[in-house]
């Protein structure tokens, strides 16, 4: 068998070396490129910047989760009571209305107030000089006041809405229960309200 010339063997080895060298560089370059892309994706996801590489994947995975969390956090407003305003004490008319203290605060004051109203309890409210009311809430919105009134009347309370205007404060719609002509009758209703977690203001109303 004839032997291959030495120069052909040398050229073949040189070509093999060149191919190996080129393949090695191509592999190295591909590895560097893949690594750079991976780092870019990772940094983009971590940064939160919507313009960074990889942020789209982060938003894609986060949106369904955020949407689910948002739907869970949204409270249902069906059948909920309207939010009470903080104007309860400020919407008491001091010239004709007086807050009645708790029994433990001044029992003598209560007995005198009860005595003054009891003398008129058999009369009509139009003729009475004073009577008691329970103020359940006060709102800026008439619709909220009407909603609260309906909730109270549905469970048996004789509620009403009274519109008042106070200088430098505006218009208010007060939800009230009454009138009462004795402290006993007022306290019975107030106890029922308390059992329903409703705190009402106890007022003595005098004719101007």
Domain boundaries, the chain: 6-73, 97-206
pLDDT for 15 equals: 59
d(CA 75, CA 122): 48
Q: Would you say 175 and 161 are in contact if contact means Cβ atoms under 8 Å apart? A: yes
Alpha helices by DSSP H, 48-141: 55-73, 107-118
Q: What is the pLDDT of residues 76-126, one digit of tens each?
A: 334 555 555 544 555 677 668 888 887 544 545 445 545 444 444 444 555
Pick the more confident residue, 184 or 34.
184
d(CA 177, CA 203): 10
Q: What is the pLDDT of residues 152-172, one digit of tens each?
A: 999 999 999 999 988 888 899
pLDDT for 180 equals: 94
d(CA 200, CA 133): 10
Positive or negative: CA dihedral 83, 94, 132, 104: positive
Q: Which of 159, 135, 134 is nearest to 146 (CA)?
A: 159
Q: Please state the length of the chain.
A: 208
- How much is the average pLDDT of 130-145? 93
What does the buried/exposed string (b/e) look like for 145-183 if buried means 16 or more CB atoms within 10 Å of the residue's CB? bbebbebbeeeebebbbeeeeeeeeeebbbbbbbbbbeb
**CATH fold of 97-206, please?**
Alpha-Beta Plaits (3.30.70)
Positive or negative: CA dihedral 25, 31, 37, 39: negative
Tell me the three state secondary structure of residue 33: helix
């Amino acid at each position: 068998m004839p032997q291959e010339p030495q120069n052909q063997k040398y050229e073949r080895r040189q070509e093999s070396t060149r191919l190996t060298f080129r393949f090695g560089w191509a592999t190295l370059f591909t590895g560097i490129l893949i690594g750079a892309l991976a780092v870019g994706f990772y940094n983009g996801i971590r940064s939160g910047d919507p313009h960074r590489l990889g942020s789209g994947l982060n938003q894609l995975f986060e949106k369904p989760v955020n949407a689910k969390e948002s739907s869970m956090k949204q409270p249902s407003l069906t059948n909920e009571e309207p939010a009470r305003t903080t104007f309860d004490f400020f919407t008491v008319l001091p010239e004709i209305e007086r807050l009645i203290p708790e029994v433990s605060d001044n029992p003598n004051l209560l007995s005198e107030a009860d005595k003054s109203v009891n003398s008129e309890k058999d009369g009509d409210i139009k003729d009475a000089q004073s009577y008691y009311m329970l103020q359940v809430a006060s709102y800026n919105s008439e619709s909220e006041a009407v909603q609260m009134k309906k909730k109270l009347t549905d469970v048996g309370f004789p509620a009403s809405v009274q519109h008042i205007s106070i200088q430098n404060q505006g218009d208010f719609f007060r939800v009230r229960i009454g009138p009462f002509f004795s402290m006993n009758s007022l306290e019975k209703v107030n106890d029922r309200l308390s059992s329903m977690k409703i705190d009402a203001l106890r007022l003595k109303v005098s004719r101007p």
